[in-house]
Structure 1
Amino acid sequence: MMSPRGKVGVSYGLTVLLVAAVTGWMGGVVVLEAGGVWRAPGLPVLLPGFLLAYSCCRMLLRILKQWHLTVKGLRLLRSNLHRELSKQLQEEYRVWNTEILVVQDKAFVGLNIGLWRPRIVVSTATLAQCSAEEVRGILLHELHHCRKRDNLRLFILTLMAESFFYLPVIKPVLAYVHTWLELFADRFAIRQMGTSLHVGTVLLKLAGGKRASIYGTALQFAGTALDYRMLQVISPEEEVQVPLKLQRPVLVTCCFLLLLMVGGSS
């Protein structure tokens, strides 16, 4: 039986291959159409070209938006940076070779920021509400995300889901991968600490109430699949079962692609 990591890798890889294949096919249709293969192209033939152009434009706009949000977030981070606490944590965890930043915020903030050079960000409220061991659990969770470049992987999937909306199979894969990346990060923290107690207490605190942050949806540590994560903490020796519901999305995607190919070849 395939392991969860194997399932995540296969589902991620097949999704990327699907998008690449569809993009290549639509691009081929556009090239053949431009070369005059079809004398009087109608709407079915023009549709692949339209969808390809729309997807490319949507992708470009999403990348620009992400760049803008990253620049804005870094600017906001620097303006609220608590340099003394940042220096203390950086010194304490210097062997990680990962930058740790503390921001002044009254809300719980525990996240990693950046696609190419991810950094861990926590708030002063996080440090005040949690014990030293709980803070370590949060930092280990985010460290795993940084080392595995999870932000980049999720951004690529999100980019495909938004740009190729007519391929509904991508969205359940995105949710599935996102859930497992959080579970993997928790497992890493639990394994490093030798106990699930501290990760569990943090999750319980966050489940009890959340305050708005100046960083928007900044509660990355507990922002996804809280039920599955709590189940893993309660029974760490048992394998969490995360369903990947693909039957209907695959059927709709196949029907759409079949219609598109039949129309494009007419």
Structure 2
Amino acid sequence: MTTYVIRAKYFGYNDEVFYVTGNRISNVFQDQAEAEAVYQKLEAEGARDFALYEVESLFDADEATLKQLDEFIFSRCGEHIYQDGEVSRDVLPSSLSDADTFSFVQMAEMQKFQLVSFEHEVKFYGLWSTKKQQWLEEHDEFFAGLIYAESPELLKDKIESIFADYDYSDIELAGSLESLSDQPILLKALIQVEYALSYDEDKQILNIGLWQNEALYAVNALLKQPLFEIKQIELAEIQRLEQELAKMHSYDEDYEYDEE
């Protein structure tokens, strides 16, 4: 049986645009048609939450893209969203149909939701902190959320969150290369080619540079005691933790996910 999961994106504001700060599960469905209908409705409704000139994808778009998007809107409802080199300071025209609004959202890459399907069982993967023995979270002044994705590869860009376990500074691991790794020769070779890694022979300290994700990811695989693990996390566990985070950080205190 296929399961469909809708994840809602949450946004912060940086004085210029609204940017994605995190996401959480919004709905769970067993029926594809129902899931797609709800997803499209949510996107159409959410598209008018922000003034267009404050939408990150439009703010970063080049003139050719903005003209193409404007032509689409004008062809559908006779109104412009881009004139004289400026994006409209208003929201999308109310005269634009929900179907056309959904199409525009996809064209402009301004999605507020994500629809993910799983063929047999729901499989999400999270980042596990071996130091704190808990799932890693991402924090922003506007949002706090669990770090997880539908495939392990999508988490590579999120591993910088492990630096929070080390007070946002370089990570220092004490010990000989032999005590740190079952493959000390490979570890030494990696240190020699990776500028963000260094090893003090006298002090026997391995240093991993702050925010150096690629170095952290590479060296972690060689450590006897990894700094993080990418593990499968159950849907029920995600829902429980997201509700706890919502209460803990006082956003959407009445938050409940919808399961159809």
- Specify if TM > 0.5: no
Larger proportion of strand: 2
By percentage of residues, which structure has more helix? 1
Using the size of structure 2 for normalisation, the TM-score is 0.23
